[in-house]
Amino acid sequence: MRRPVFIFLLFCLCGITSLKARDIVPFNDKWFFKKDSLSTEVTLPHTWNATDMQIKAKAFYEGSASYRKSCLFPESWKGKRLFLRFEGVGSCAEVYVNGKLAGSHKGGYSAFTCEIQNEIKFGEENEIKVLVDNTARPDVVPVNHNLFGIYGGIYRPVWLIITDSCNIAVTDHASSGVYISQKNVSRQSAEISVKVKLDNNGLYPVPVILENVIYDVTGKQIAAERQSFDLQFQGMQARTSHFKLKRPHLWQGREDPYLYKVTSRLYQNGKVIDEISQPLGLRNYEIIAGKGFFLNGKKYPMYGVARHQDWWETGAALNNEQHDTDLAFIMDIGATTVRFAHYQQSEYLYSRCDSLGLIIWAEIPFVNRVTGKEWENAHNQLRELIRQSFNHPSIYVWGLHNEVYHPHAYTTQLTRSLHDLAKTEDPGRYTVAVNGYGHAEHPVNMQADIQGMNRYFGWYEKKIRDIDAWVEHLETEYPEMKLMLTEYGADANLQHQTEFLGESLNWTKEFYPETFQTKTHEYQWAVIAKHPYIIASYVWNMFDFACPMWERGGVPARNMKGLVTFDRKTLKDSYFWYKANWSKNPVLYLTQRRNDQRETRTTSVTVYSNLGTPKVFLNGKALDNIRKGYTAVHYIIDNVTLANGENKLQAVITDRNGKEYADEIIWHYQGEQRRSTDNRENRNEHSGF
């Protein structure tokens, strides 16, 4: 009596009425999740750490759990090849079909594929079971939860892939099986090669035709090549087609993210038996030490932010709408490049960056610590990242490690080996390794094409303005080094506000004022902007995110360096600082709107405006003596005297088309206020500097 129900469920789940050359269908409903004695039905994506990693430090579940699903595969599918493709499981997984091991995987961020038809009972009910474990272990990177939490569960979608006996390879490290390379790209011409890996699981050679076709954005075919051959049955086979396009339409970042499409088709007996389409964005990336980043021969601004993939009360089990929300913030702020840290992120996200024109840094989770046991896994995760992401034109660099040090000799050798692997897999892209010490002579440095340095002047080290001496020293001593400032910033708890700010903040204290974060970004971006030696910079971070091992700043398990709060509801002042400096959209913004209980009668007012000099009013009276700050969008009025009680500040400006823009905030002054000195040691400088 149950069999018709499962047939109905499978077909509803997969949306299959008749099989095509290749069917890729969702496999996410009706999973039964079990942890300890608790069992519940869930829909993927799913994580068991959606809340416990975010609300209390060092109090999350780290361990094993299972997912089980029953389904029926019809008799008519006999002779087909069936694969389960998992986009992301945190972090180690074993997949069983009817009690037999079908595949395993180590690493919480890359996809993996299991071929399952040999274990399937066609026409009968089958059980798919996945054992998952997010315990930090010394042989799998990351080896701890220190910088971010490894969310447990099948937290990205699962797909059922159905093909004929001969196919474009599905099990080549869960890649597309198609690799598109380009060279000598210019506005005059571009050379393209399309390598397709093919697989025949039969016992005899099969006569086939492989066709590779390039289409423009309208769907018009502009180039094609066919090859006829016998597809052998022992191991994967690779075939390559070569093209040369004249006067190509180039992929020009946010300005013009033009995408061609490459479709690879496999024919047998005149019928298409498999087909894959991949994006093609023709572009040339070049980094010139001391000068900057060049896209298609034109200097390109690298306005960068970093992004972690988790959301408040969702963890890493995001849907596409949430990815789109994050990308909308990133586009709105005017960013041109994103560091997706510190691990491989959603394939959907990378694809959207292709079409949006964002230039992407992709990396593996080799972070924080080494154990001496992660060598093989780090290599495998890098290989998976490159093969699975190879065709995304938005990706310009592969990240090898982030702040990994002792023991120096081992870390150096591992990084050097990862660089060699990346160059073997993909000679056309850069590599980068990141340190937090800020000096080039460190033993683990200089093992990649690009040297990334994370510097938190004024937060973890020294003073805000020490960024000047740091970059000037490197410019003088190492003019040929390709340098990027790969993290910088400061935490900001929106409940913490003050007018009294020094040049440094002791991050081990509990007071993390938003105003200090704003001050840090105002000064340090101005320095970055005037130093082309810093080829790209990445604000840490676009969004607050979970740090389940942390207990600091008044909010447990939280890194608050984001420009946007964890719940995506509040944009901090620093968000508007970068939007005013980077975006072409109009910005007029009065800062310190949450610092509304003023501590001094005489204060300063700061406005960000990319529309020109604004008019500013206090309680209806115009304020004079507005001065420029660190950049062209930065306006400050000093020695502003507040009235007792409520004070209304307004900023107004009219653009060249006659459109008026206005912003308004309310401050309150109740007499001189002095908060506890326990959390603020430096009071020598006012926030309006």
Residue identified by tokens 């800020």 is: 438
pLDDT digit string, tens, across residues 333-385:
999 999 999 999 999 999 999 999 999 999 999 999 999 999 999 999 999 99
Q: Which helix (H) or strand (E) holds 557?
A: strand 555-559
Measured CA to CA, the distance from residue 556 to residue 569 in angstroms comes to: 19
Helix axes 573-582, 514-529, angle to 10 degrees: 20
pLDDT of residue 674: 57
Annotated catalytic, 403? yes
Measured CA to CA, the distance from residue 420 to residue 218 in angstroms comes to: 39
Phi, psi of 12, rounded to the nearest 5 degrees: -65, -40
Instruction: Supply the Cα-derived Rg of the chain in whole angstroms.
Output: 27
Which of 146, 150, 239 lies closest to 196, judged by CA? 239
Measured CA to CA, the distance from residue 463 to residue 460 in angstroms comes to: 9
Percent of the chain with pLDDT over 70: 95
Which of 639, 646, 687, 688 lies closest to 670, judged by CA? 646
Coil, strand, or helix at residue 658? coil
- ∠ CA 655-656-660 to the nearest 5 degrees? 30
DSSP 584: S
- Residue 472, pLDDT > 50, answer yes
Q: Which domains, from first to last, does the chain contain? A: 3-168 (2.60.120.260), 178-280 (2.60.40.10), 344-454 (3.20.20.80)
pLDDT interval class at 394 (50, 70, 90): very high
pLDDT of residue 676: 42
pLDDT digit string, tens, across residues 298-347:
999 999 999 999 999 999 999 999 999 999 999 999 999 999 999 999 99
The Cβ of residue 347 has, within 10 Å, a number of other Cβ atoms equal to 18
- Residue 17, pLDDT > 50, answer no
If DSSP states are collapsed to H, E and C, what string results for 294-350? EECCEECCCEEEEECCCECCCECCCCHHHHHHHHHHHHHHCCCEEEECCCCCCHHHH
Catalytic residue among 94, 347, 363, 403: 403
Measured CA to CA, the distance from residue 91 to residue 152 in angstroms comes to: 6
pLDDT digit string, tens, across residues 128-184:
999 999 999 999 999 999 999 999 999 999 999 999 999 999 999 999 999 999 999
Q: 74 with 118: CB under 8 angstroms?
A: no
Measured CA to CA, the distance from residue 577 to residue 565 in angstroms comes to: 16
pLDDT of residue 337: 99
pLDDT digit string, tens, across residues 549-571:
999 999 999 999 999 999 999 99
Measured CA to CA, the distance from residue 563 to residue 685 in angstroms comes to: 23
Asked whether the bond before 493 is cis by omega within 30 degrees of 0, the reply is: no
